[in-house]
Chain A
Amino acid sequence: MLALASPALLVILLLIVLPVGWLAWQSIYHDGFTLENYRRILSEDIYWRSFALTFEISLLVTTLALLIGYPLAYAANAAPRRWSIVILALVILPFWTSVLVRSYAWLALLQRTGVINQVLQYVGLVDEPLALVHNSFGTVVATVHILLPFMVLPLYAAMQKIPNDLMQAGASLGGGPAHTFWRIFLPLSLPGVLAGTTLVFVLSLGFYITPELLGGGRTIMVSLLVSRNVELYNQWGAASAVGVVLLAGVLAVFLIVSRFIPFDRILAPK
């Protein structure tokens, strides 16, 4: 068994264990063993603030992506085949567009002279253009849009596997649509919900370009701190330490989630 799995293990070792190990090693070794990089993270409150802000924004993004993604996936699943293809295409097409392009697109839409502000002013809803971008708001809007496919696709996959017979059986026993949804469909789609939320949450924790472009310089997420650390301390160690702490945070999230639902069900919704 081990012999069969060894090529795969080798790939994992080369592509994941070694680089991450190297990252961790750099963060504690610079001309000798040092904990300076971690001392800095623990003692300076800019790091705490960034980590708090990053988790806050990621939670918000995940919640919004779930609220938007669930009905979308449900519609794609329930609609006739032709329509479900259209819905999925609308979700996946932006997915194939570069994150940079989509971030700039949001910038063009949300800025002072952007389409949204111009329409709002034209119809007389606002007198002054709203500050929709260069703040956390713009960052969240664009991040939700960019990460939405990572919510919709696992949800759709989970919903596809729910047998229609179960719903019909529920209905034949006198359950209304809402009742069968709450008692049968929703619980069976939960693995998809968990997979989607975990994916989106973890991805948004490490988001870089979008907060950099749309955050106006004030939305300093952890990824920005990593790049700032390279610039400021001129050694990879300082940035590596921030990366290691973020990684530890992500693993902690996985660990907590795995207490409620086993790992294999999160990663491969059945």
Chain B
Amino acid sequence: MTTAIRSVASRSRFSRHALSVSFGLLAGLSSLPARAADQITFVSQGGAYQKAQTVAILDPAARKLGITINQDSIPDAWPVIKSQVASGTPTWDVVDVPTSYCLRGGEQGLIEKLDVSKIPNAAAMPEAYRSPYSIAYEFYSSVLAYSLKKYSSGAAPNSWADFWDVKKFPGRRALRNHPLATLEAALMADGVASDQLYPLDVDRAFKKLEEIKPAITVWWTSGAQSAQLLNDGEVDMVMAWNGRVSALASEGAKVAYTYNQGVLQSTSLCILKNAPNRETAVQFLNEAVDPLLQANLPLHIDYGPANPKAFDAGVIKADRAVQLPSGPENTRKQALMSYAWWASPAGEAAEKRWVAFMQK
């Protein structure tokens, strides 16, 4: 009994000691701003994706800049961004998130405004790939995927009009339980050209969706679920993210997809408001979209570089470029999602309308 009490007492003394040491360290660090600035905290979504970007982009960028990149990962960063900035002392610097988070966060004062003149690599990218708050970092695509057991590749659905055509292509279908890219697909199915989508005709899109609704077996909510539905034969065609389908195919599943009328989407990098290492973060942003480092990414995972110059760097071979969502040929076949429209009041209204549409 007495030993137990003593050991508890000594443990608490020890932890108090440890605390004072770490506080001392913190104080020491903050008195050396030059050294403290030589690091950033980078946050992404974890898993195979974060591993790939660590090898392809983060490690080389850290070596080049002579900084330390601390990493954190979270499936959905939005609530944490909100609470970190609200607390006044965020610990994250750069986040890799769906572009809409950067725009929405920018409007709400959660994200720093960027000075593109300090980020020359981004300045050289197409204007549609950046916003005052964000720089596109990698591309993925919402594509039409299908089971090869049900449809042979010669007689497979090849457009959203085919997806909507339940007579010509009988079978079970799934769409994402989210309006992003789904409304775009509906409009393309209704005959709108892929470069004429914005501003979206929301009424027309929902009307077209009502048409296909009875044929939709599942409205999926996670990428893993969309792949599983197709793999298990629960559905025969689905709108899914290209990386999910290509991963299935490489595991030997009888599935395929087309980039035709795909919706090209991106995650972007942005910097938290009042982030501790803002200047280093800006330097990192420039490195992260460097054409050479960007060209490394598809060597490790099925996502496309956001900087189009990456395809001229001599790293990505032609047979690889045709597989990537942002490959020059595939970019032409697809629609580029306008995150600016989705962040606008009309876009937000469309998102709210989705819940009501699902319940009817």
Contact = CB atoms under 8 A, between A and B. Distances in A.
Contacts of A231: 78
B232 A46 contact: no
Interface residues of A, number: 22
A104 B358 CA distance: 23
Sorting the interface of chain B by its residue count into under 10, 10 to 19, 20 to 34 or 35 or more gives 20 to 34
Contacts, number: 49
A235 B190 CA distance: 35
A228 B355 contact: yes
A46 B356 contact: yes
Interface in B184-223: 217-221
B359 interface: yes
Contact of B108 (A212, A217, A218, A234): A234
Interface string B348-360: 1001100110110
Contacts of B153: none
Contact of A112 (B104, B177, B234, B358): B234
A217 B355 CA distance: 10
A225 B358 CA distance: 12
A217 B233 contact: no
A113 B233 contact: yes
A21 interface: no
Nearest to B352: A232
Contacts of A217: 177, 218-221, 358
Contacts of B82: 234
**Which of A50, A112, A134 is most buried by chain B, counting CB atoms within 10 A of its CB?**
A134
A111 B232 contact: yes
A260 B233 CA distance: 51
A127 interface: no
A230 interface: yes
B79 interface: yes
A111 B225 CA distance: 13
Contacts of B217: 131, 134, 216
Interface string B96-122: 000000001000100000000000000
A112 B236 CA distance: 12
A220 B359 contact: yes
A111 B231 CA distance: 12
Nearest to B235: A112
B104 to A, nearest CB: 6
A49 interface: yes
Contacts of A49: 359
A154 B219 CA distance: 37
A248 B111 CA distance: 36
Contacts of A213: 225
A44 interface: yes
B359 A232 contact: no
Contacts of A44: 356
Interface in A225-251: 225, 228, 230-232, 234
Contacts of A232: 348, 351-352, 355
A113 B355 contact: no
B169 to A, nearest CB: 18
**Which of B172, B218, B225, B233 is most buried by chain A, counting CB atoms within 10 A of its CB?**
B218
Contacts of A230: 79
Given A212-B221, A217-B220, A225-B355, 14 more contacts: A46-B356, A46-B359, A49-B359, A111-B234, A112-B172, A113-B233, A134-B217, A213-B225, A217-B177, A217-B218, A217-B219, A218-B219, A228-B355, A234-B78
Interface of B: 78-79, 82, 104, 108, 172, 177, 217-221, 225, 232-234, 348, 351-352, 355-356, 358-359
